[in-house]
Amino acid sequence: MAKVRDRTEDFKDSVRRAALNLGYDESKTATIMASFILHKTRERSPFTKASMKTLESIGALEKFLMKHKKDYLDLRRTTEQERDSIEHEVTVFINSCREQIDVLKNSINHEQSSSKGWLGIRSDNLNADTIAHKHGVVLILSEKLHSVTSQFDQLRAIRFQDAINRVTPRRKLKSGIKNVTESSNSNNFQSRGNSEVREDNEVQAEPIRVQQQVLDDETRALQVELASMLDAVQETESKMVEMSALNHLMSTHVLQQAQQIEFLYEQAVEATKNVQLGNKELSQAIQRNSSSRTFLLLFLFKYKNCRRFGNGSIDIGTALTSPYLCLIH
């Protein structure tokens, strides 16, 4: 990368020369030069201190996430429970960071509103630029938190994807087994039918075989029942996974729209309010118009009468009033 030229040394020389030109004595010059080296430790406002702390905690959160990312994603290194616990910890952390940011935001608003109470005289600390700066700080913090949480959401999405992928082949396999069992069941029924026909011919000869048959049938029935129960359980499991995935989808992507939808809603509400106000104003104007009309008529009649009894120039008076009367009608 290209180097940059540090001119601070040149600046210091110029400062020294300027001090000498102004006639500063040695001690004063020395203090000025010393200020370059010793930086006065500045008193930091509580707002700044709090924002620094929040920044640190977001940084710690990010480091934590990075550390456990590999463990979280790799299927073999962690169990489901460990993954759940990681998720839980991260969520708690995120909530605490968000609370800190909210506290900062509220402190700005609080300061703003409390200062207004003093007859609108604001102290030096609360000018528009400082408030804008504080809002900027809060915005930066929330953007950082947002980026960390979106990283976390991505990890969760990968986890859900894996889960669904794992469940799907099992379903396929299971449905394959189901077909096989179904076909074997039909075979059994068929063979049972056959054996029944055969049995009718040899009914007395083998009561033991019949008993065996019955036992076999029972076993098969149990098998079928177990298989179907397994089916049902697995279906429920997959449905749960789907639901959590859909839930995750909703919470991340659709809620992103939530702000915009809220904004639109508020705008619509405002628009209706404005239209109502407009209607009110219009009706008032119409009223005023009609009342002013009668007022004007009365006034002009009076004027006409006065004019009649004033100078002899009746014509001007009538000339003035008649066009007005025409206009009003």
Which residues contribute to the site for another protein (CB under 8 A)?
1-8, 10-11, 14-15, 17-19, 21-22, 24, 32, 35-36, 39-40, 42, 44-45, 47-48, 51-52, 55-56, 58-59, 62-63, 65-66, 124-125, 127-130, 132-133, 136-137, 139-140, 143-144, 147, 157, 160-161, 164-165, 167-168, 171, 175, 235, 238-239, 242, 245-246, 249, 253
Contact 139, 53 (CB under 8 A): no
Closer residue to another protein in complex, CB, 11/265: 11
Query: In whole angstroms, how close is the CB of 306 to another protein at the nearest point?
Result: 56
Residue whose tokens read 């009608």 = 329
Angle separating helix axes 46-73 and 80-116, nearest 10 degrees: 160
Query: In whole angstroms, how close is the CB of 316 to another protein at the nearest point?
Result: 51
Query: In whole angstroms, how close is the CB of 154 to another protein at the nearest point?
Result: 10
Query: In whole angstroms, how close is the CB of 257 to another protein at the nearest point?
Result: 11
Round to whole Å and give the CA distance between 275 and 286: 16
The residue count for the chain: 329
Residue whose tokens read 């201190």 = 49
Spell out the residues 6+ positions from residue 134 whose beta carbon is closer than 8 angstroms to its own. Answer: 47, 104, 108
Round to whole Å and give the CA distance between 146 and 98: 10
Closer residue to another protein in complex, CB, 124/200: 124
Residue whose tokens read 């804008």 = 132
Closer residue to another protein in complex, CB, 48/292: 48
Closer residue to another protein in complex, CB, 173/319: 173
Closer residue to another protein in complex, CB, 107/188: 107
Chain centroid to Cα 23, Å, comes to 62
